[in-house]
Amino acid sequence: MNRIALEAVAEVRTLKETVPPGKHIVTGDLRRSSARLFREIEDRRIDHVFELCEALLSQRDWALGVIAFDWAYRVREQYTAETYDVFFGWLKKYVRGWGDCDDFCTHAFGALLRSRKELFSSVLEWTKDEDFWVRRASAVVLIPAILHRDHSGLSPFRISDALLCDENALVLKGYGWMLKCYAQIEPETVKEYLIERHAAMPRVAFRYALEKYDAETRNALLKL
């Protein structure tokens, strides 16, 4: 394993030793370590950085995954069309829960989608995936573009329609979160959508989508 990757493994081990029993490493501490270690990488070409990321991800350790996804995000100016295959491979192989999914999709993978909107057709296919975190990712990966008002060419409602009655609560919460973000940008559009879908949409997703509305609007929609 590369020296920097080994340093990351040692850093995480040290951080774990300092955490009180029953507690977890603070994500902020990991990101600070990640930033410092990234500065020590001499060759920051995307292929080399992705090799380091893969080495960390292959350890299947949450903390090392945070560092790997952070490094991948830091080379976002070098993303190409081929980056999609790398990222989707990581999503299927190394992501195993909502936390990994959200970190990856709201940073590195979300940045890729923002720069290459033509990938939306591939993202739409994720809604049919057997793995729940991939289905959740189909909604969460849109969030960076939405919040940056850079979602032209993307269709959030096509994703939520495809996931509308998903059997997994984490998927429902995922697209509910996406709609909540979308409501911050286009409140009336999302409001109309929620009115149209309220009878079919599971309540957990519906409530997530309402969180950023004012109390009057939220209460009125909840009475539907």
| Closest to 113 (Cα-Cα) out of 82, 90, 144, 136 | 144
Query: What's the domain range around 21?
Result: 1-78
Residue 148: predicted pLDDT: 98
Within a domain: residue 217? Answer: no
Within a domain: residue 180? Answer: no
Within a domain: residue 61? Answer: yes
Place of tokens 């009336």: 188
What's the rounded Cα separation, in Å, for the pair 74 and 218?
38
Within a domain: residue 160? Answer: no
Write out pLDDT tens, residues 9-66: 999 999 999 888 888 899 999 999 999 999 999 999 999 999 999 999 999 999 999 9
Residue 146: predicted pLDDT: 98
Give me the number of domains the chain comprises.
Answer: 1
Residue 20: predicted pLDDT: 86
pTM summary value: 0.96
Within a domain: residue 12? Answer: yes
Within a domain: residue 149? Answer: no
Write out pLDDT tens, residues 135-191: 999 999 999 999 999 999 999 999 999 999 999 999 999 999 999 999 999 999 999
Residue 181: predicted pLDDT: 98
Within a domain: residue 165? Answer: no
